[in-house]
A and B are shown apart, each in its own frame.
Chain A
Amino acid sequence: MSAPVVLVAEDEEDGREIFGTILRHNGFEVILAEDGAEAVRLATEHRPDLILMDLSLPELDGWEATALLKEDSRTAGIPVIALTVHVQQEDRRRAAEAGCVDFLGKPVEPRTVLALVKKYVGSERPAEARSVQQD
């Protein structure tokens, strides 16, 4: 059994580092994308178990990328969690319309992100995770 795969689409390097680290540390395989187009390409290619989607992405923004993924039957089933500085209700509504299952506004504590990811994916291999942690 392989570890659950989470695609983190984030244009800020700090963000990629923080969310990538905490997820890997907790036993998740992490794929990183720096823009929307890349996110769509990697999601299609790797079929991750969950996607953390920043909404203000270059090339293709998060709302558009999510909508494209939802239109593709290969990726439509992947839950997408919005993770963004656009915290207004209007932004939330648009995210829900695009197909996001949940919404996290920045700044956000890493443990909050982890808890929400686990809610959708679960911890398949806590032991392995711990072993990774131990690596």
Chain B
Amino acid sequence: MSQRKPAFDNAEVRPSGQGEEPDFGLLFQAAPGAYLVLAAEPDFPIVAATDSYLSRVRRRREEITGRGIFEVFPDNPNGSEGPSARAVKSSLERVARTGRPHELPVLRYDVRRPDREGGNWEERYWKTVNSPVMGEDGTVAYILHHAEDITQRISLEEALEESDERLRFTLDAAGVGAWDLDLEHDRAERSLRHDEVFGYDAPLDEWNYQIFLDHVHPDDRERVGRRLEKALEVGGDWEFQCRINRADGQLRWIEVHGSPYAYQDGRPVRMLGLVEDITERKETEEALRRNRDRFRALVEATTSIVWSADPAGMVQEGSARWAEFTGLTPRECQGLGWLRAVHPDDRERVRKEGSRAIRERRVGEGEFRLRHRDGEYRYVAACGVPLREDGEIVEWIGTLVDVHDRKAAEEERRQLVRELRAKRNRLRQVFEQAPAGILVTVGPEHRIEIANPLVEEFLGEKELVGRTIREVIGEGSADFADVRDQVYASGKPYVGDEVCVPLGQDREEERYLNFVYQPLFDAEGEVEGILTVAVDVTEQVLARWEVDDARSDAEAARDETESILESISDAFYAVDDEWRFIYVNSEAERLWRRPRETLLGRGIWEEFPETIGSESHEAHLMAAREARPISLETESEGLGRWLQINIYPGESGLTVFFRDITERRKADEERERLYQEADEANRAKASFLAVMSHELRTPLNAVVGFTELLQAEVSGPLTDMQRKHLERIRAGTTHLIQIIEEILTFSRAEAGREEVYLQPVSVADLVSKTAALVRPMAGEKGLAFSVSVSDDLPPIETDSRKLRQILLNLLSNAVKFTDRGGVQLQASDEEGELCISVKDTGSGIEPSEIERIFEPFRQVDQSSRRRVGGTGLGLAVTRQLVDLLDGTIEVESTPGEGSTFTVRLPRKPDPDPGARQPVPASAG
């Protein structure tokens, strides 16, 4: 025996699976037809045999494999024809020598049944073809031996030639029934086995067509009938297969051959044939067919790329399907070139696995991504199997299967599993962490099956599962068990909102829970348990109570607000942020002459379109836009009234107060008109005064001038009497001039026409010069006259003419009203102000009069006025001048003892002339 057992060295039938190499051994074994594979060696040892062959020769595979063919099948020593083995051997030697197939003529080669079957020789006729299978070295390695068993045919031919007995014997030996049908009389002669085929232990007395047809399976009967009728018409040999119901009840397959041999009028009248039970053959064929299908399916399913590589792992050119799959050329796939189609991330791993397989000399396998010709990477499973010869690896055979779809499906399945697991975890989390108590009870006694931690917390107990609700909650809360009974009995869910429940271990904590009891049904639709979900809403309930309280407070406040809004005299309305009235008070109703029902909910600009574009409209828009309060007075054309409007932006919308100010506006306008009239009157007075001033001065100048010319005796000497009279004219004129000057000054000041010219003034100088004017008058009356000016007087800015006038008035007044004693002037700095006081020892002023002495045309008493002369305007003018200089004047007086007038002036008058505006005459 040779050690060479390549490819076929796989006598064992293994289950085929995806990703494995095709099992050539199995394929061969399953092949139809009787084949042997013989090694091309002197003894022609049997390397492999097909199942069909084994069945023909009634041998088991292990009985013949590895043994020489002639050792297994020796010549029949009683054979009538020459030694068969020699002819076969000669043919085999010839094939091995020539390398060409050789067909033997039909050959009798008897087969001995195995001992277990009695060891009889069976006469067999074979049609044999021997074909060479070339090895790598170009010599014949194997010979494929095909032996077709044509014994039946030979036997039938012989039967026709030989006697009935012989025929019968032969047929009987072959297990085949023969028949000879007389069509004219519908009667058949049969061989021994014929009736046995139809399940009869003993031959029947008679056999005819109808009996046959009765045995044919009803489903096949019509087909068979047609077939036979056609055979009679057409003539010639025929055959068919059909199922029969045997007499012993078995369903079998038979094959029937027929051949007409006697004719009358062109129609067959006698027919000869065979019938054979082919059930086993059918079954074998069926098995074979299944095997074939399996192999085909295997190949198709794997869509394998089969490849081969040399011992070093270099892929050999021509593995066409590599190229087809990857789009690479066969040459590109050569060696390790195919690696370039492997996904870069997988390439190193694939290379390592390949190296490992080669190093360790065993199967290499793995999954990786291979670039498909369309550019997509697809997962493939690769497997490489070493082929050994004499223990050395001569070649690697491998497959490559596209497993992308499977891989994707697997990935999808993994993803689904992950998701399911995540979902389950989430559900568990929800269950564990739900802000709701979740409880499942089963059975009418409500035995707890599931309870989440919150339920344990509610009940203040753990390990609830397995106990009944009544056990857990006790009789104190029996209601809850009753509710469950009801749900369980009715199958209807129960919802309880804000149920007050005593919770906690001692059941002393009152909580408010929302309950849902949901019945759970079994497959038959019967209630089997209850799912309870309980949510603690205590906080919400308490909060709502607070809100309710707050709301009723707010409602009370709103009522109060409304009554205020109704009671105020202003009109009021509120609009929302879409300008719709949401409130209108009764005053607004009155002013608009619109009941609020016709306004509420409606748009302000739709109801008062005439307002659009008005000042009020603009103000509303601006207040809303800039979110700031706006007040305005405007004349409403629609109402024909003046309105004062106060617009306040709110959180959404505006609130607006408005009132009718038409009357006030009228009063304002009237006042304005009066002011203007007064102003015009003042202007007229001023202009009158200016004219008066000029017009009076010119004639007075003539009187003064000519009087003095006369007194100067320019025009001639005067008598004493004339001189005395001229002096009276002069004094009268001087008095007149003084009066006119005072009137004019006062009137100018009254009219606001007196102007102030500010300049730095030396008070000491001004005081001494003014005093010098009055001193002679004092001297004439024998009065003491003293002036005291402090050394540290501040420099001041003021109107020097007016200040001189003030001092002159005060000093001359003091001299005028003092008959004894004296007049004293003091000037000093008093807290940064110039303070000048003029003190006399005159008659003084009665307290009742003292308030009025600064009023025009007032003198303390009319008698003194006549006595001392004067207009009565002096102090009035003085106070006006002091006012113009932004100062104050006051008087202290004791009747009979004298008076002190004190003037205080700022270092510089207030620059705002308005502040110095004289008060109107009426106010003086």
Tell me if B152 counts as interface (CB < 8 A to partner A): no
Query: A14 near B714 (CB under 8 angstroms)?
Result: no
Tell me if A21 counts as interface (CB < 8 A to partner B): yes
Q: Once bound together, how far apart are the Cα atoms of A89 and B748, in whole Å? A: 12
Tell me the total A-B contact number using a CB cutoff of 8 A. Answer: 65
A85-B694, A85-B698 are contacts. A107–B703 as well, Cβ < 8 Å?
Answer: yes
Query: A106 near B698 (CB under 8 angstroms)?
Result: yes
Query: A14 near B700 (CB under 8 angstroms)?
Result: no
Q: Once bound together, how far apart are the Cα atoms of A109 and B694, in whole Å? A: 17
Tell me if B60 counts as interface (CB < 8 A to partner A): no
Q: Once bound together, how far apart are the Cα atoms of A8 and B698, in whole Å? A: 16
A25-B712, A87-B693, A89-B801 are contacts. A106–B755 as well, Cβ < 8 Å?
Answer: no
Query: B704 near A109 (CB under 8 angstroms)?
Result: yes
Q: Which residues of the other chain, B, contact A88 by a CB distance below 8 angstroms?
A: 755
Query: A14 near B701 (CB under 8 angstroms)?
Result: yes
Residue in chain A with minimal CB distance to B756: A89
Choose from A21, A87, A93, A105 the contact partner of B714 (Cβ within 8 Å). Answer: A21
Residue in chain B with minimal CB distance to A18: B705
A18-B705, A21-B709, A22-B709 are contacts. A107–B700 as well, Cβ < 8 Å?
Answer: yes
Number of interface residues of B (CB under 8 A): 20
Tell me if A86 counts as interface (CB < 8 A to partner B): yes
Q: Which residues of the other chain, B, contact A105 by a CB distance below 8 angstroms?
A: 697
Query: A107 near B697 (CB under 8 angstroms)?
Result: yes
Q: Once bound together, how far apart are the Cα atoms of A105 and B709, in whole Å? A: 18
Query: B706 near A18 (CB under 8 angstroms)?
Result: yes
Q: Which of B693-744 contact A (CB under 8 A)?
A: 693-694, 697-698, 700-706, 708-709, 712, 714, 733, 737
Query: A108 near B712 (CB under 8 angstroms)?
Result: no
Q: What's the least CB distance linking B806 to chain A, in Å?
A: 15
Tell me if B757 counts as interface (CB < 8 A to partner A): yes
Q: Which of A1-29 contact B (CB under 8 A)?
A: 12, 14-15, 18-19, 21-22, 25
Number of interface residues of A (CB under 8 A): 23
Q: What's the least CB distance linking B757 to chain A, in Å?
A: 6
Q: What's the least CB distance linking A117 to chain B, in Å?
A: 14
Query: A85 near B701 (CB under 8 angstroms)?
Result: yes
Q: Once bound together, how far apart are the Cα atoms of A80 and B623, in whole Å? A: 69
Query: B705 near A110 (CB under 8 angstroms)?
Result: yes
Tell me if A94 counts as interface (CB < 8 A to partner B): no
Q: What's the least CB distance linking B691 to chain A, in Å?
A: 10
Q: Which residues of the other chain, A, contact B697 by a CB distance below 8 angstroms?
A: 85, 87, 105-107
Q: Once bound together, how far apart are the Cα atoms of A86 and B702, in whole Å? A: 16
Q: Is the interface of B mostly helix, strand, loop or mixed?
A: helix
Q: Once bound together, how far apart are the Cα atoms of A2 and B733, in whole Å? A: 37
Query: B704 near A108 (CB under 8 angstroms)?
Result: yes
Q: Once bound together, how far apart are the Cα atoms of A87 and B744, in whole Å? A: 11
Q: Which residues of the other chain, A, contact B693 by a CB distance below 8 angstroms?
A: 85, 87
A85-B693, A86-B694, A87-B693 are contacts. A108–B701 as well, Cβ < 8 Å?
Answer: yes
Q: Which of B700, B701, B708, B757 has the most CB of A within 10 A?
A: B701
Q: Which residues of the other chain, B, contact A107 by a CB distance below 8 angstroms?
A: 697, 700-701, 703-705, 733, 737
Q: Once bound together, how far apart are the Cα atoms of A86 and B693, in whole Å? A: 8
A107-B700, A108-B701 are contacts. A56–B694 as well, Cβ < 8 Å?
Answer: yes
Q: Which residues of the other chain, B, contact A90 by a CB distance below 8 angstroms?
A: 755
Q: What's the least CB distance linking A9 to chain B, in Å?
A: 15
Q: Once bound together, how far apart are the Cα atoms of A90 and B737, in whole Å? A: 21
Q: Which residues of the other chain, A, contact B757 by a CB distance below 8 angstroms?
A: 89, 93
Q: Once bound together, how far apart are the Cα atoms of A107 and B693, in whole Å? A: 10
Q: Which of B706, B714, B733 has the most CB of A within 10 A?
A: B714
Query: B694 near A22 (CB under 8 angstroms)?
Result: no
Residue in chain B with minimal CB distance to A113: B705
Q: Once bound together, how far apart are the Cα atoms of A18 and B700, in whole Å? A: 12
Tell me if A111 counts as interface (CB < 8 A to partner B): yes
Query: B698 near A12 (CB under 8 angstroms)?
Result: yes
Q: Which residues of the other chain, B, contact A19 by a CB distance below 8 angstroms?
A: 705
Choose from A89, A106, A109 the contact partner of B708 (Cβ within 8 Å). Answer: A109
Q: Once bound together, how far apart are the Cα atoms of A22 and B755, in whole Å? A: 35
Choose from B698, B708, B801 the contact partner of A111 (Cβ within 8 Å). Answer: B708
Q: Which residues of the other chain, A, contact B694 by a CB distance below 8 angstroms?
A: 56, 85-86
Residue in chain A with minimal CB distance to B744: A87
Q: What's the least CB distance linking B502 to chain A, in Å?
A: 102
Q: Which of A78-113 contact B (CB under 8 A)?
A: 85-90, 93, 105-111
Q: Which residues of the other chain, A, contact B709 by a CB distance below 8 angstroms?
A: 18, 21-22, 110
Q: Once bound together, how far apart are the Cα atoms of A90 and B701, in whole Å? A: 21
Q: Once bound together, how far apart are the Cα atoms of A21 and B701, in whole Å? A: 15
Residue in chain A with minimal CB distance to B757: A89
Q: Once bound together, how far apart are the Cα atoms of A56 and B703, in whole Å? A: 20
Q: Which of A32-63 contact B (CB under 8 A)?
A: 56
Residue in chain B with minimal CB distance to A93: B757
Q: What's the least CB distance linking A32 to chain B, in Å?
A: 15
Q: What's the least CB distance linking A62 to chain B, in Å?
A: 14
Query: A15 near B712 (CB under 8 angstroms)?
Result: no
Q: Which residues of the other chain, B, contact A110 by a CB distance below 8 angstroms?
A: 704-705, 708-709, 712
Q: What's the least CB distance linking A23 to chain B, in Å?
A: 11
Residue in chain B with minimal CB distance to A15: B701
Q: Once bound together, how far apart are the Cα atoms of A108 and B734, in whole Å? A: 10
Q: Once bound together, how far apart are the Cα atoms of A87 and B757, in whole Å? A: 14
Q: Once bound together, how far apart are the Cα atoms of A27 and B689, in whole Å? A: 39
Q: Which residues of the other chain, A, contact B712 by a CB distance below 8 angstroms?
A: 22, 25, 110-111
Query: A14 near B705 (CB under 8 angstroms)?
Result: yes
Q: Which residues of the other chain, A, contact B706 by a CB distance below 8 angstroms?
A: 14, 18
Residue in chain B with minimal CB distance to A105: B697
Q: Once bound together, how far apart are the Cα atoms of A18 and B704, in whole Å? A: 10
Q: Once bound together, how far apart are the Cα atoms of A106 and B693, in whole Å? A: 10
Q: What's the least CB distance linking A27 to chain B, in Å?
A: 13
Q: Which residues of the other chain, A, contact B703 by a CB distance below 8 angstroms?
A: 107
Residue in chain A with minimal CB distance to B802: A89
Query: A89 near B755 (CB under 8 angstroms)?
Result: yes
Chain B positions 659 through 674: 1 when the CB is less than 8 Å from some CB of chain A, otherwise 0:
0000000000000000
Q: Which residues of the other chain, A, contact B801 by a CB distance below 8 angstroms?
A: 89
Q: Which residues of the other chain, A, contact B698 by a CB distance below 8 angstroms?
A: 12, 14, 85, 106
Q: Which of A15, A86, A89 has the most CB of B within 10 A?
A: A89
Q: Once bound together, how far apart are the Cα atoms of A18 and B709, in whole Å? A: 7
Query: A15 near B714 (CB under 8 angstroms)?
Result: no
Q: Once bound together, how far apart are the Cα atoms of A89 and B709, in whole Å? A: 29
Q: Once bound together, how far apart are the Cα atoms of A22 and B707, in whole Å? A: 12
Q: Once bound together, how far apart are the Cα atoms of A18 and B706, in whole Å? A: 6
Query: A15 near B755 (CB under 8 angstroms)?
Result: no
Query: B700 near A106 (CB under 8 angstroms)?
Result: yes
Q: Once bound together, how far apart are the Cα atoms of A56 and B694, in whole Å? A: 10
Query: B702 near A18 (CB under 8 angstroms)?
Result: yes
Q: Once bound together, how far apart are the Cα atoms of A110 and B712, in whole Å? A: 10
Residue in chain A with minimal CB distance to B702: A14
Q: Once bound together, how far apart are the Cα atoms of A109 and B712, in whole Å? A: 12
Q: Which residues of the other chain, A, contact B700 by a CB distance below 8 angstroms?
A: 106-107
Q: What's the least CB distance linking A121 to chain B, in Å?
A: 19
Q: Which residues of the other chain, B, contact A21 by a CB distance below 8 angstroms?
A: 709, 714
Q: Once bound together, how far apart are the Cα atoms of A14 and B693, in whole Å? A: 18
Q: What's the least CB distance linking A96 to chain B, in Å?
A: 12
Q: Once bound together, how far apart are the Cα atoms of A129 and B755, in whole Å? A: 43
Q: Which of A's residues lie within 8 Å of B, judged by CB?
A: 12, 14-15, 18-19, 21-22, 25, 56, 85-90, 93, 105-111
Give me 8 A-to-B residue pairs in the complex whose CB atoms sit less than 8 angstroms apart, sorted by A's number.
A12-B702, A14-B706, A18-B706, A19-B705, A56-B694, A106-B700, A108-B704, A110-B712
- With A22-B714, A111-B708 already in contact, 17 other A-B pairs whose C-beta atoms are closer than 8 Å: A14-B701, A14-B705, A15-B701, A18-B701, A18-B702, A19-B705, A22-B708, A22-B712, A85-B698, A87-B693, A87-B697, A89-B757, A105-B697, A107-B697, A107-B700, A108-B701, A108-B704
Report, nearest first, the 10 A-B pairs whose CB atoms are least far apart. A18-B705, A85-B697, A107-B701, A107-B700, A14-B702, A106-B701, A107-B704, A85-B694, A106-B697, A110-B708
